[in-house]
A and B are shown apart, each in its own frame.
Chain A
Amino acid sequence: MSTPLKDPVAATDTGTVQLSYREAIRAALEDELDADPTVLFFGEDVAAAGGVFKTSEGLSERFGGRVFDTPICENGFIGAALGMAATGMRPVVEVMFSDFLPTAGDAIVEELPKFRFMSGGQCSLPVTVRSIGGGTGRFGTQHSATGESWFIGLPGLYVASAGTPAAAYSVLRAAIRENNPVLFFEHKGMYARKGPVSRSDGAIARLGAAEVVREGSDVTIVATLLMVDRALQAADGLADGGISAEVIDLRWLRPLDHAAVRASAEKTGRLVIVEEQVHVAGWGATLISDLTMRGVELSAPPRAVSLPDDLLIPYSPSLEDAVIPSADRITEVVSSLCEAGRPHALDA
């Protein structure tokens, strides 16, 4: 087991510790199961096997019948989660790969967001759907999507994600405590990444708040999931070249923190979206749309580093690496943007 089981008192205040993203997810689940007896956790292979990505090891031993395995039927078990939430429980479910979310299309698109509304507000639906996505795993086309923007256009639903171990802990706990359905995205390429995590109730994230994970003055990089990590790597290199990049982990994709992005972009004058998804119909395009409609003037037009719009994610390792935005590509784009946007460059 990667994280030792903590007793309930210790779990509420252990200060800042180094945890992997995986351990942070598990800690968030454990602390919420601990805090509230109505919290349930279920999904495929999450109990006896501890999750295929080992994010729930030991939880079924500790919490007994509140952590259990399901048949392979995402639409069915998310629908069941809705029924549990409507009758007083606070279920958390795991979807093993984000690519499986569309099999639960009815539950996610038609039921979770609409159920409270069409009843005239008669109930609340505290359901958290944890969805594990993203590339770099050599899993091929049907096990590599982040899926992060597929469901951001649905009033009634919240969509969240985590780009650091700290966010994995803080945002997941916030999602579980939320009285509305939350689709929470994790990135399988991040599970081994370690970072400082404040494992305490005080760390629970605020709904809809993006996080500035690195402050800078020349350019704003907005990213999610693994792209936050890569943007931070790029920012390190850019600093050596004299470019100060501010990196934002967006965290919430519905609602989007337009205010935080706008404030940063107005400060730096430049914006780069880094996203492990095509640019069309995603959160990145939506952020740029907001800036445009508000007439925010930047030093240079915004840029986006995204998945190619004319390809899908391939298996072959070198090809997969080639399509997913790398720190080098981010560096390249940010450098050229900062160059193009420098007043002296225009004067030359």
Chain B
Amino acid sequence: MGTTDLETRPSGPAADTSAEEQLAWFRRMIEIRLFEEKVQELFMEGLVEGTTHLCQGQEAVSVGAISAMREDDYLTVTYRGHGHALARGMEAEAGFAELMGRSTGCCKGVGGSMHFTDFSRNLIGAFAIIGAGLSVAVGAAMSSKLRGVDTVALTFFGDGATNIGTFHEAMNMASVWKAPVVFVLENNLYGEYSPLRDTTSVEDLAERAKAYGMPGMIVDGQDIFAVHEAVGTAIARARSGAGPTLLEMKTYRFRGHSRTDPAKYRPEGELERWKQRDPIELLGASLAANGHLSTDDQVALRAAVQAEVDAAAGRAADAPVPTLEEIKAYVYAS
């Protein structure tokens, strides 16, 4: 990879991706999709309050990238982090319980939708302030480097984050220190309600890597094979000591920015065009074409995952709310 290798990855299964692995991806992507849809239902039922930032349409990015990580690698995510947490292996029940403010939630019910964190899986933080997770990931990466171990850090963030100072500070620190970190930028075309072209000086955000002397690459974020391969390459580069990479995943969120956003700012036909490239359907078509999973079996799988998701939400709703006395212990460590 050159200093700035701005290219688009080809799609299609890499020779070394087994059918089992592809089936696991497929199941996880369906789980994330159905989890997010269930969140909307739970909202209508009054079991979830506040706000949520859902990720339907972006499942190939979270699953494709996280499946390229080792278990001991570090991960930071954002307030749109349900999918990443599930992709990292968090139980759906811990997610639902968190959204319902229960003590069995991944953050004991005190974090809520925007802070899905799971230290047992090295998911070390979900940040609701734009850009914050980037410098934290650089720190986690430096921690590995200073201890002389080969774990790397990966951080997800959106297109809007590339306009905030922390992005630039983190990219520069990572480059200067050759930190073993991979920056995964999910460009879903909108920073909150504003289209990228109205707020951002470049169209291809991977170009911004050039300013920090690191490779930048555009990846088809709807194609899980492309995502997985690009992230795998960047992780290998980081692990070898060669430093950070910026990967721009071109993707799309099927819902608005947050719960109350009907996304009326989208041009007519845009959503429909992106739905033609639904990442789950793209992988499903490939699985069917290669004889790994028939369309009938895919329908059955979806029903099975739906039953699991519904059951997880039901168990979450039965869990208790923590007491104020209990949560005081989370303010300061002893």
Give me the interface of A with B, judged by CB distance under 8 Å: 40, 65-66, 70-71, 73, 75-89, 91, 106-107, 110-111, 115-125, 155-156, 179-180
Cβ-closest chain B residue relative to A117: B330
Expressed in whole angstroms, the Cα–Cα distance for A119 and B94 within the complex equals: 13
> Are A75 and B107 in contact, CB atoms less than 8 angstroms apart?
no
Judge whether B132 is part of the interface by a CB distance below 8 angstroms: yes
> Are A111 and B127 in contact, CB atoms less than 8 angstroms apart?
yes
> Are B124 and A87 in contact, CB atoms less than 8 angstroms apart?
yes
> Are A88 and B173 in contact, CB atoms less than 8 angstroms apart?
no
The smallest C-beta distance from A259 to any residue of chain B, in angstroms, reads 19
Cβ-closest chain B residue relative to A38: B147
**Which one of A71, A110, A118 contacts B172 once the chains associate, using CB atoms below 8 Å?**
A71
The smallest C-beta distance from A71 to any residue of chain B, in angstroms, reads 6
Closest 8 CB pairs of A and B: A83-B139, A76-B169, A79-B135, A120-B108, A124-B333, A80-B139, A121-B330, A120-B107
Expressed in whole angstroms, the Cα–Cα distance for A327 and B332 within the complex equals: 38
Most chain B beta-carbon contacts within 10 A, residue among A66, A84, A180: A84
**Which one of A77, A120, A121 contacts B135 once the chains associate, using CB atoms below 8 Å?**
A77
Chain B 189-230 per-residue mask, 1 if CB under 8 angstroms from chain A, else 0: 000000000000000000000000000000000000000000
Cβ-closest chain A residue relative to B110: A120
Q: What is the interface size of chain B, counting residues whose CB is below 8 A from a CB of the partner?
A: 48
Expressed in whole angstroms, the Cα–Cα distance for A70 and B76 within the complex equals: 22
> Are A111 and B129 in contact, CB atoms less than 8 angstroms apart?
yes
Chain B 109-153 per-residue mask, 1 if CB under 8 angstroms from chain A, else 0: 111100101110000110101011011111111111011000001
Collect the chain B residues with CB atoms within 8 Å of residue A179's CB: 333-334
> Are A70 and B173 in contact, CB atoms less than 8 angstroms apart?
yes
**Which one of B169, B173, B331 contacts A117 once the chains associate, using CB atoms below 8 Å?**
B331
Most chain B beta-carbon contacts within 10 A, residue among A77, A81, A84, A120: A120
Expressed in whole angstroms, the Cα–Cα distance for A81 and B170 within the complex equals: 12
Cβ-closest chain B residue relative to A70: B173
Cβ-closest chain B residue relative to A113: B331
Expressed in whole angstroms, the Cα–Cα distance for A179 and B143 within the complex equals: 17
The smallest C-beta distance from A113 to any residue of chain B, in angstroms, reads 8
Expressed in whole angstroms, the Cα–Cα distance for A25 and B147 within the complex equals: 26
Collect the chain B residues with CB atoms within 8 Å of residue A87's CB: 74, 124, 139-140, 143-144
> Are A76 and B105 in contact, CB atoms less than 8 angstroms apart?
no
> Are A80 and B329 in contact, CB atoms less than 8 angstroms apart?
no
> Are B172 and A79 in contact, CB atoms less than 8 angstroms apart?
no
> Can you name 22 A-B pairs with beta carbons within 8 Å?
A71-B172, A73-B169, A76-B165, A80-B136, A80-B173, A83-B153, A84-B146, A86-B119, A86-B124, A87-B143, A87-B144, A91-B139, A106-B129, A106-B132, A117-B331, A118-B111, A118-B117, A119-B107, A120-B106, A120-B327, A179-B334, A180-B333
Expressed in whole angstroms, the Cα–Cα distance for A81 and B129 within the complex equals: 17
Judge whether B176 is part of the interface by a CB distance below 8 angstroms: yes
Expressed in whole angstroms, the Cα–Cα distance for A111 and B105 within the complex equals: 21
Not counting A75-B135, A89-B146, a sample of 6 additional A-B residue pairs whose C-beta atoms are within 8 angstroms of each other reads A82-B139, A83-B124, A83-B137, A111-B127, A117-B327, A120-B110
Collect the chain B residues with CB atoms within 8 Å of residue A118's CB: 107, 110-112, 115, 117
Collect the chain B residues with CB atoms within 8 Å of residue A123's CB: 119, 124, 333
> Are B166 and A106 in contact, CB atoms less than 8 angstroms apart?
yes
Give me the interface of B with A, judged by CB distance under 8 Å: 74, 76, 105-112, 115, 117-119, 124-125, 127, 129, 131-132, 134-144, 146-147, 153, 165-166, 169-170, 172-173, 176, 327, 329-334
Collect the chain B residues with CB atoms within 8 Å of residue A107's CB: 132, 135
The smallest C-beta distance from A60 to any residue of chain B, in angstroms, reads 14
**Known contacts A83-B142, A118-B115, A179-B333; A77/B173 CB under 8 A:** yes
> Are B329 and A121 in contact, CB atoms less than 8 angstroms apart?
yes
**Known contacts A82-B139, A121-B108, A179-B333; A75/B166 CB under 8 A:** yes
> Are A84 and B176 in contact, CB atoms less than 8 angstroms apart?
no
> Are B124 and A116 in contact, CB atoms less than 8 angstroms apart?
no
Expressed in whole angstroms, the Cα–Cα distance for A30 and B172 within the complex equals: 29
Expressed in whole angstroms, the Cα–Cα distance for A87 and B147 within the complex equals: 10
**Which one of B105, B109, B125 contacts A86 once the chains associate, using CB atoms below 8 Å?**
B125
The smallest C-beta distance from A149 to any residue of chain B, in angstroms, reads 20
Most chain A beta-carbon contacts within 10 A, residue among B127, B165, B329, B332: B332
Cβ-closest chain A residue relative to B136: A83
> Are B143 and A84 in contact, CB atoms less than 8 angstroms apart?
yes
**Known contacts A76-B135, A111-B127, A118-B115; A155/B331 CB under 8 A:** yes
Collect the chain B residues with CB atoms within 8 Å of residue A81's CB: 139
Expressed in whole angstroms, the Cα–Cα distance for A84 and B111 within the complex equals: 21
**Known contacts A87-B74, A122-B117; A115/B125 CB under 8 A:** yes
Expressed in whole angstroms, the Cα–Cα distance for A155 and B131 within the complex equals: 23
Collect the chain A residues with CB atoms within 8 Å of residue B331's CB: 116-117, 155-156
Most chain B beta-carbon contacts within 10 A, residue among A71, A85, A119: A119
The smallest C-beta distance from A261 to any residue of chain B, in angstroms, reads 22
Collect the chain B residues with CB atoms within 8 Å of residue A76's CB: 135, 138, 165-166, 169-170, 172-173
> Are B109 and A120 in contact, CB atoms less than 8 angstroms apart?
yes
The smallest C-beta distance from A326 to any residue of chain B, in angstroms, reads 38
Collect the chain B residues with CB atoms within 8 Å of residue A66's CB: 146
Cβ-closest chain A residue relative to B172: A71
> Are A116 and B136 in contact, CB atoms less than 8 angstroms apart?
no
Expressed in whole angstroms, the Cα–Cα distance for A87 and B151 within the complex equals: 11
**Known contacts A119-B119, A123-B119; A82/B136 CB under 8 A:** yes
> Are A119 and B333 in contact, CB atoms less than 8 angstroms apart?
no
Collect the chain B residues with CB atoms within 8 Å of residue A77's CB: 135, 169, 173
Expressed in whole angstroms, the Cα–Cα distance for A118 and B135 within the complex equals: 18
> Are A122 and B170 in contact, CB atoms less than 8 angstroms apart?
no
